[in-house]
Amino acid sequence: MMNHKFFYSGLSLAVGSATLLVSSCASEPIDVPAPRAGEVTGSEGNNGDALKYNQALVEAIQNADKIVIKEHSNQVDFFGTIPDYSAAPQYTYARKVLSPGEKILFLEGAKKLKGDKSRGLTNCLFAPHHRIDFYELGQLKSSMKVCYKCNEIKWNGTSYQPSEDVFDAVTPAINRAGMKANRDWDALANQRYQDEIKPKTPGPDPVGSPTAKWAPGQKGRKVINPFTGDLVDVEGIPAKTKVRDPNDKDPSHVFRVPEQ
């Protein structure tokens, strides 16, 4: 049987008799609405596609009543950390709703794009860590996913191919939002995952807990939660015992049962 080798950037795996070099990136489906009805890919060629792509971006920024930029994990960050990394959690490391001024700067950057040509395809599989969501009338209109490992963008706001210079507008917007193009994504995801699965140890017993007061006409039965003002049934619980209101979601709200 003939041995085959597939070459991509990144990780090397042995599969049977074949050596498979796999990218550190992985594809991710777009989970937001499709491009506007009736929109088709331009037939003017590379330059025409790039120009129309940039124009679509300008219109998306202009029409958006909210633009949200997120920095997040990707499932491939968990390769080697959990057995089935395809089922890995997704963590949001940063989220920023652009201010009116930041939106204007984003728009100005998009308007300056020349759109000389479209971006070429790469051999790297897509693993975005940044996402830009465009909202109109409070509804998610389109979503742009950005992969700096591949220098590739996928956006369902248009069917035209991304322009070569689109990063000249996108990267400054991401940086102004306080996010970084490149981080140690694997270490970041692994640390967050380990913190999440680490057994939770109970904290020290609260000290100085306040003593509740009996609810009017309810002495020996119900007290008033000193933190929320809600009634709490403490019938049969000895005086000075530390208790919590089961309906109070704050675990630090511990108080004592008053004396009779």
pLDDT at 159: 93
User: What is the C-alpha to C-alpha distance for residues 29 and 192, in angstroms, rounded to an integer?
Assistant: 23
| Residue with token string 């005086």 | 239
Six token digits for residue 114 = 């020349």
Enclosing H/E stretch for 66: strand 66-72
β-bridge partners, 76 = none
Report DSSP letters for 128-172, one per residue: --EEEEEEETTEEEEEEEEETTTTEEEETT-SSPPBTTTHHHHHH
- Report whether pLDDT(236) > 80: yes
Q: Which residue has the higher pLDDT, 20 or 106?
A: 106
User: What is the C-alpha to C-alpha distance for residues 100 and 105, in angstroms, rounded to an integer?
Assistant: 9
Across the range 32-54, mean pLDDT stands at 58
For residue 164, give the nearest of 149, 172, 148, 153 by alpha carbon. 153
pLDDT at 207: 58
Q: What Rg, from alpha-carbon coordinates, does the chain have?
A: 27
pLDDT tens per residue across span 115-150? 999 987 777 888 999 999 999 999 999 999 999 998
- Report whether pLDDT(252) > 60: yes
pTM: 0.62
pLDDT at 79: 84
Q: Is residue 1 very low, low, confident or very high in pLDDT (cuts 50, 70, 90)?
A: very low
- Supply φ then ψ for residue 254, to 5 degrees: -105, 135
For residue 176, give the nearest of 126, 90, 107, 73 by alpha carbon. 107
